[in-house]
Structure 1
Amino acid sequence: MKHTKSILFCNCGAGLIAPQRAAELSAELRKLEADVVELHDLCAFSVHDAPKLGNLTAGYEQTTIIACFPRAVKNMLQQGGARLGEFDVLNFRTLNNEAIISELKSRFSIPEGESNYLVEKTDLEVPAWYPVIDQSRCISCGQCARFCLFGVYRFDKKNLEVVHPLNCKNNCPACGRTCPTQAIIFPRLPENSVLSGAEPLEKDKTIAEKQSSLFVMLNERNKSRQSIFRQGVMQLAEEERQKALEEVRKMNQKEE
């Protein structure tokens, strides 16, 4: 019998949720009155079989996705063309299993019962590592496309797209570090940061309106610190890019 509420649980192939913890969460989800689909994994389906995600959630009055940062999930699904309608995201990076089950029961009114539990695995044969553009922050400057050496992006007259996501080199987030507006997300990045999908911290705009000499001094000092920090970020990005290039060279040498 089909339930009225569905849950998509991303059993992350990048290890963002440990296998033991994933197994324990799976056991708890089986005790809820919902149709649960355990995905191996959401990033792979989003880039390789996005229509299936829409089919899995069609016809339900409520869909909840258990995965990583909501900003990463929502922009990833939009970029991949998955048509899910309205859904909510519970972040297993910041919520433990107990908190997730509590949210499902209290906030989403899913009672205890017996789930219809389905496991779906992708046939994608390469890591689902790729950048996701947060279109609400992107200013189409093209910095990421110019920095990338692997043809992941297309940038034409201020139109920026991820056109060859799987050209991206596994574990290389270098282009995202160059983004001036923090619009690039790598959902599989282990660090809990804006680059992996956490919400950016916005500056207090009211401070910018102050004109006191103290503010000017502090503002200039802050700019200096930001410049030093930016230099460090760019250096890290260049190191990551060179590491990715070296991996490509090694692969080419093995094939020869």
Structure 2
Amino acid sequence: MTITFITGANKGLGFEAARRLTELGHTVVLGARDAERGQAAADELGARFVRIDVGDDASVATAAADVRAHEGRVDVLINNAGIHGRHAPVEELTGDDAAEVLQTNVVGIVRVTGAFLPLLRRSEHPVIVNVSSGMGSLALTSDPERPESKVVAPLYTSSKAAVTMLTTQYAKALPGIRVNAADPGYTATDLNGHSGPQTVTEGTDAIVMLATEGADAGTGRFVDRFGPVR
């Protein structure tokens, strides 16, 4: 039985990934910051809820201890929690704005991964899936034919570029763990006011694929639902 822990899973991509993986037979532990919404989401899916605030060391440590006490290990860690940050003209962005986005989207992955590594190392074939974005790709955001090139969101895009690089570095540093990044694509979620043309099911295709592929599938990759991302 595959034990999967997902952060930010009370709605959107995290919730849909939890739903799909539960249907595929995973034992899903649903992580979320909001206890009421997280418990409601877990109840709907038949999953177990664990409160986790990826921006807080104590919360993350408590969540890892909870999983260790109940499940004993983690086979798949999906670092999904993320925010867009304040919508404002670039000249109005502040250091605090940047810190808030990076704290959740990048530092949160470092914090959660570090706390959950002992649980992952109890797995026969441990997997980490980091939810990144094509918005963090230099190639895609420079290609006028791509929708990613039309968006100006300095903090969010920078954070996702960092997530992708973090993924490749962790893949090198953790040879016993498969570490990959998923680009959901332009998906209708709260993050973009549900403006994306993709459904959340389509947006979780790459996440689910990375969470369920064979142990020899490779590490240090960045993929979307169609294949490798540049």
Range class of TM-score, shorter chain: 0.3 to 0.5
**TM-score of the pair, normalised by structure 1:** 0.31
**TM-score of the pair, normalised by structure 2:** 0.34
Larger Rg: 1
Kindly indicate which of the two structures has a greater share of residues assigned to helix. Answer: 2
